Structure 1
């Protein structure tokens, strides 16, 4: 599976649908070695304005725009490649909480979803609905995990 995806964007020109752009995603960052985040699209209003693209700052823990959304493609390397280790009885070092509703699809590999009181193994095809909870991702395998995530603003 690709580390950085191709993005095709459609539009309407002279009343006809067109392919407006077709290129490898350029809003990509590597916040930790092997942790590659490709931000595909973002919005900052609801209802969405179909004729505009909102370019966003690519951060590991995003601040979704008010009334907006993020669409990201994420490759998470094995914990051992990141040098991450959670000592027994301690929270995972990458625990975080966002003010978003997240739809996450595991495309390839496997990863553990960790919350304050539990964890579960996710594999390709599994879907997570993450509702603003404290959470972390732990890749305990030997291969990268690729996720597709849509984050929707849930702030007051």
Structure 2
């Protein structure tokens, strides 16, 4: 599977559908060696408009108000990142987002870790991540490829529990 995806964007010209863009994604970052994040598309309203938004590529973006991000992620094995989660301690990459995320595992496998438990995900599995503390742990020997749609969401009224540091 490609590390950096190709993006094909359709559009209209003279009332007929066309391919407006066909190129390798240029908005790519590598926050840790092998951890590739490509933000493919963004919207800033619902209903969405058909124009492209300039995307700031950060590990944990602020999704535009009433908007979305479409993201391609390659997560290398933990051992390649030098990540070790000490027994009884939160995973070092535990984080919380204020988005509703639809995540599809395309290739490989990865553990989804939340505060009270974890589960192994494999290609074809889908996660609905609803603004909770979570981390990804790739304990295999191969990268895991994910596609994610991050949607702006209202924060829950339930008091969030801060993890102990």
> Within 1, Cα distance between the matches of 2:69 and 2:139?
26
User: Given the alignment of the two structures, is residue 55 of structure 1 paired with residue 51 of structure 2, yes or no?
Assistant: no
1:155 CA drift (Å) = 3.0
Compute the RMSD of aligned alpha carbons: 0.7
Where 2:142 maps in the other structure, the secondary structure is coil
For structure 2, list consecutive stretches of 5 or more residues without a partner in the other structure.
156-165
1:14 CA drift (Å) = 1.1
When normalised by structure 2's length, the TM-score is: 0.92
1:13 CA drift (Å) = 1.2
Where 1:80 maps in the other structure, the secondary structure is helix
Q: What is the CA deviation profile of residues 20-43 of structure 1, one whole-angstrom value per residue up to 9, with x for unaligned ones?
A: 000000100100000000110000
Matches within 5 A, 1:34-45: 34-45=34-45
Matched residue, 1:149 = 148
Matched residue, 1:32 = 32
Residue correspondences, number:
155
Matched residue, 1:64 = 63
When normalised by structure 1's length, the TM-score is: 0.97
> Contact conserved, 1:42 with 1:54, CA < 8 A, in 2?
yes
> Contact conserved, 1:34 with 1:76, CA < 8 A, in 2?
yes
> Within 2, Cα distance between the matches of 1:63 and 1:95?
17
Matched residue, 1:110 = 109
Over 3 Å off, 4+ runs: none
Q: What is the CA deviation profile of residues 105-130 of structure 1, one whole-angstrom value per residue up to 9, with x for unaligned ones?
A: 00000000000110000000000001
> Contact conserved, 1:66 with 1:155, CA < 8 A, in 2?
no
User: Given the alignment of the two structures, is residue 129 of structure 1 paired with residue 125 of structure 2, yes or no?
Assistant: no
For structure 1, list consecutive stretches of 5 or more residues without a partner in the other structure.
none
Q: What is the CA deviation profile of residues 41-86 of structure 1, one whole-angstrom value per residue up to 9, with x for unaligned ones?
A: 0001111111x11011101111111101000100000001111111
Where 2:79 maps in the other structure, the secondary structure is helix
Where 2:46 maps in the other structure, the secondary structure is coil
